[in-house]
Structure 1
Amino acid sequence: MLTNQQEWLQLQQSYDQMEKHALWLRLLCLTLWLWLVQTESTVVLQAGLIGFCWLNEALWKAQQDRAGARLLALEAAMREGLEIACQWQSSWQAQRPGIAGLIGGYIKAGLKPTVAVSYLILTGASLYRYLF
């Protein structure tokens, strides 16, 4: 059975990996967007790519936010001398928001400046190329 510290270490590594994967997703989106621009694709196709990648990163970041909340819970438990390891899913299930709460979490994650800026820049560049 894992201890709080072991779960924290594993979860922290996972949290860091999620950040790397989000950066790779942005790089992939930029690369595909540049290809679409070079092939003079429609602005609708460019917007679709941007929206698809943005949505996927929002989902990814929402999961990362949940992992971050669990890391904080583990840290608090360790400070208080409580053992809560191996209870993440049951804890999540007990606090799981409804569909509106889940969608709100995804929107919130997607609108964070660290996520939104890249996609807003690509959107602006697509619109600029389309309009001018």
Structure 2
Amino acid sequence: MDRSALTLEWQVLQNQFDSYEKCSLFIKLFNVGILTLALANEALGVSVVAIIFVIWLQDAIWKTYQSRIDGRLQLVEQGLAMDGEAFSTNESEPTTVIACQYNRAFAEQRPSLIGLIREYGCQACRPTVAFPHAVLVVLAVFCL
């Protein structure tokens, strides 16, 4: 295990993970702005509710990408903690973490189209993603 390469990978992935969190917050704020503008201009309709749902889904997709980074971060951290020793991530064989294998690992575990849609839906239902989108939908429907 190349500890310096894993350390560098961890730093890059952690910065990217934090960046995704900031962008998710901006997506949420943008959605709040959409509803606020629609209410202020008395332009609330089914199309605005649809836009709120689309932005909610976009946030879920964004958070799905972030969760993939989190999975790799967890693996890299485990590798750094074990300091070169093999460890087990499941019931099968011991694993040694090789640096800079983020895309390869994802490609090997990429879900099918249905699995990908399911993954987006699960992310959309997480409380940290659903808020404030669900509140905006309820408010928009209530104000129709």
Check whether TM > 0.5.
Answer: yes
Structure 1: gaps (5+ residues): none
Matched, 1:111 2:125: yes
Report if aligned partners of 2:60, 2:120 keep a CA contact under 8 Å in 1: yes
Report if aligned partners of 1:18, 1:64 keep a CA contact under 8 Å in 2: yes
* TM-score (normalizing by structure 2): 0.84
**What count of residue pairs does the alignment treat as equivalent?**
130
State which structure, 1 or 2, has the greater radius of gyration over its C-alpha atoms. Answer: 2
Identity %: 30
Matching of residues 54-93 of structure 1 within 5 Å: 54-80=56-82, 81=84, 82-93=96-107
* TM-score (normalizing by structure 1): 0.92
The alpha-carbon deviation at position 33 of structure 1 amounts to: 1.2
Report if aligned partners of 1:33, 1:49 keep a CA contact under 8 Å in 2: no
Whole-Å separation in 1 of the counterparts to 2:19 and 2:13: 10
Q: CA RMSD in A?
A: 1.5
Misfit runs of 4+, over 3 Å: none
Show the counterpart of 1:33: 35
Larger helix fraction of residues:
1
Letter of the structure 2 residue corresponding to residue 122 of structure 1: L
The alpha-carbon deviation at position 50 of structure 1 amounts to: 0.6
Report if aligned partners of 1:3, 1:83 keep a CA contact under 8 Å in 2: no
Show the counterpart of 2:19: 17
The alpha-carbon deviation at position 69 of structure 1 amounts to: 0.3
Whole-Å separation in 2 of the counterparts to 1:101 and 1:108: 10
